[in-house]
Amino acid sequence: MAQCPIRLLLRIFSFVDADLPVEMRAQRTLNTKRVPEIARYIVENRDDYTFSAITASIDADITFEPIGVADDRLGRLHVPMDARFVINDGQHRHAALTAALARDASLGDETIAVVFFVDVGLARSQQMFADLNRHSVKPSASIGVLYDHREPTADLTRAVVKRNRILHDMVEPERSTLAPKSKKLFTLSAVHQANQALLAGLPDSGREELALSFWDATVAGFPDWIQVHENTLSAGALRLATISSHGTVLHALGRAANSMVRSEAGSDWPRYTDALLSINWQRSNTELWEGRALAAGHVSKSNQSVALTSAVVKRAMRLSLAADEIRYENAIRENSK
């Protein structure tokens, strides 16, 4: 393992094998769409960005020179200048650091850990990539919100969940899907997504109080949520019978409330609550929900479903529909002919 100066990354790992057939490469194809986002993360968090080590193989005869007698694990690694380096894990980190370096030259004096292996052929490099990624599991969106202290809306979501009595008891903070027998009604990631939709394009001031008002009015619009909270109805039974607590609907509610707040109506929360109470949220109401929030009886998570569900709420509030909502509504009418 070595600490490699970032300014040397581009010079050391300069090979390109993207044009080779996949079976002849030691890595998956670089996803260039991910690079700008990672580079932006580095530049915007210069004092505390965090990266794991890059893993690479060296295709050359190398020698190691210990610098001490008592501990022969610390020393100098001598690598020929014509050595070929293959990244086994971390090509997107490497590309992002290179892009970030172009924006902020001071990054060049910092270092990143690199774990070097002696290259013993393509098969070994491919096996290393498979082994390094075999058991990797992306954290759930909910736990990402729970642990994220950089994004203001994540902080706001945690604060709102803590302050709203229904959310406090009914939100699953770690998983992004609910088990059939779970006593929770919502996932933290779904609440966060609803908050993002609610606050989109609005001023930074008063955001938390606005979100609290939104959730108080939303809870008032779903009496069955309160029944679950009071243990007179099971969460599982509610999720099976209605669509009201699913992430698609929460996202749509945030979107509809955002339109209300930005309209002449402003923060007319009684009007919003009355609209929710007037809507039949039962899954059995297929005439309304099939093709909108439901696809073959299952709740759809598509952007189209969010827009179409939002349109139902906005119509109940007598609000104008957005351009995409109108387009999707027209498509439904055409398909029903």
Confidence tier at 67 by pLDDT (50, 70, 90): confident
What sign results for the dihedral spanned by CA atoms 148, 150, 154, 159?
positive
Mean pLDDT of 308-313: 96
CA nearest to 15, candidates 53, 56, 54, 62:
56
More confident residue, 316 or 4: 316
The helix (run of H) or strand (run of E) holding residue 88 is strand 84-89
- Find the Cα–Cα–Cα–Cα dihedral 286, 292, 295, 298, rounded to 10°: -70
CA distance 279 to 90: 50
Query: In 3D, which of 163, 165, 164, 184 has the Cα closest to residue 173?
Result: 184
Average pLDDT over residues 155-165: 95
- 11-38 average pLDDT score: 68
Confidence of residue 156 (pLDDT cuts 50, 70, 90): very high
Task: Say what percent of the chain tops pLDDT 90.
Answer: 59
The arithmetic mean of pLDDT across residues 250-263, rounded, is: 96
Predicted local confidence at residue 26, as pLDDT: 57
Tens of pLDDT, residue by residue over 195-254, are 999 999 999 999 999 999 999 999 999 999 999 999 999 999 999 999 999 999 999 999
**The pLDDT of residue 29 is above 80:** no
Q: What is the pLDDT of residues 75-115, one digit of tens each?
A: 888 888 888 888 888 888 988 998 999 999 999 989 999 99
Is the pLDDT at 123 greater than 80? The verdict is no
- What's the pLDDT at 69? 73
Percent of the chain whose predicted confidence (pLDDT) is above 70: 94
pLDDT of residue 337: 63
Of residues 165 and 17, more confidence is placed in: 165
> What pLDDT, on the 0 to 100 scale, is given for residue 13?
74
CA distances from 96 to 86, 127, 166, 182 (A): 17, 24, 42, 40
